Amino acid sequence: MKFRGCKGRYLVLMRTFFMFIVTSIPPARSPLCMQVIQTISDLRQALDKVRAAGKKICLVPTMGCLHAGHLSLIKRARAEADYTVVSIFVNPTQFGPNEDFSKYPRTFEADRDACSKASVDLIFAPTVEEFYPKNANTWVDVEKVTTGLCGAFRPGHFRGVSTVVAMLFNVIQPTCAVFGRKDLQQCVVIKQMVHDLHMPVKVIIDETVREPNGLALSSRNRYLTPEELQKATAIPAACKVAQELVQKGETNPILIEKAAFKRLTLDASLRVQYLKVVHRETLSEVTKILPGECVLALACYLGNTRLIDNVDL
Ligand code: PAF
């Protein structure tokens, strides 16, 4: 009897201890919590419920191959709203005929795991056939801010970007959307589109995330060989040259461009496509540096890989 009583008390104690442990552990976020949706009808159904619950949705549009830069956008989105949607869609209409659409890295499994770890609520990953209706004939074409910089060398690129982002905004209806500052011209184009078409979306621009050596993170960095990665550090070095000149009082954009160009091309294997001092909001060329209003923007090739960057002056 005595033995059984002891055992009973021991079991009750163990049960209480077990219940304490179970209830005091915060619920782990199961990957099952994150929805992965491929069709527009499923997406609308899921997001109608989210909106009906009074939640604000923030979108992070991506083409996948997620890196720490994207994770920073996701973190920002989570801070801005109650529900985070990441779109993963390699958009064919923003690639030129001789660009890297077919070889653009597609890493869906790794992207899904990274999103799940980053507490994303929903991934929207449609196929091209699902997202672009057959015989689609409508474009969103933003003028002026698309003519210079990358726009001058990638005809049709920004038309593809603004069209796909407008489509994402239409089907997701987010309250806000987060874009990376590395793609400065893209940010300006999206802001212009939202402004001109009265889209009820707050556009948030998140700072560029860089490697310790200053190289801006990009999905295309994975095309670079270790040797090219080393050579690519000339990009942040050229940006620094420009910033230091401005800090010393230089206000002539031509002299700043010349000095940055010289640093960028110290190694002959780096081919500059453009390097320009422009106004950070209009992207138009300036005749004098006005601190806080200008940026240095550049694009260059290392082998077949095109890299872009920009910094405040
Ligand atoms: O920046 C990108 O990854 C793309 O241009 C975007 C905004 C997802 C549109 O396809």
> Are 162 and 298 in a shared domain?
no
For the whole model, what pTM was predicted? Answer: 0.90
Cα(288) to ligand 1 centroid in Å equals 32
- pLDDT level of residue 10 (50, 70, 90 thresholds): low
> Are 64 and 201 in a shared domain?
yes
Average pLDDT over residues 99-108: 96
- Sign of the Cα torsion 240, 68, 301, 151 reads negative
In the chain, % of residues over pLDDT 70? 90
> Are 190 and 242 in a shared domain?
no
Single residue among 206, 230, 253 that ends a domain in this structure = 206
Average pLDDT over residues 131-158: 98
> Are 182 and 117 in a shared domain?
yes
- pLDDT level of residue 291 (50, 70, 90 thresholds): confident
Read off the pLDDT of residues 75-85 as tens digits, 9 standing for 90 and up: 999 999 999 99
Binding pocket residue ranges, ligand 1, CB within 6 Å: 61-63, 91, 94, 161, 164-165, 183, 186
β-sheet bridge partners, residue 298? 275, 309
- Rounded to 5 degrees, what angle do the CA atoms 105, 127, 54 make? 105
Single residue among 177, 206, 235 that ends a domain in this structure = 206
The CATH code of the domain that includes 105 is 3.40.50.620
The CATH code of the domain that includes 305 is 3.30.1300.10
> Are 138 and 180 in a shared domain?
yes
Read off the pLDDT of residues 261-283 as tens digits, 9 standing for 90 and up: 999 999 989 999 999 999 999 99
Cα(87) to ligand 1 centroid in Å equals 9
> Are 156 and 244 in a shared domain?
no
Look up the domain containing 116 and give its range: 32-206
For ligand 1, atom 1: residue with the closest CA: 62
- Sign of the Cα torsion 24, 26, 31, 34 reads positive
For residue 15, tell me if it sits in a domain.
no
For ligand 1, atom 3: residue with the closest CA: 62
Number of domains in the chain: 2
> Are 109 and 251 in a shared domain?
no
Single residue among 159, 174, 206 that ends a domain in this structure = 206
- pLDDT level of residue 32 (50, 70, 90 thresholds): low
Distance CA 70, CA 35 (A): 18
Taking a C-beta distance cutoff of 8 angstroms, is the pair 182, 205 a contact? Answer: no
Nearest by Cα to 297 from 261, 263, 248: 261
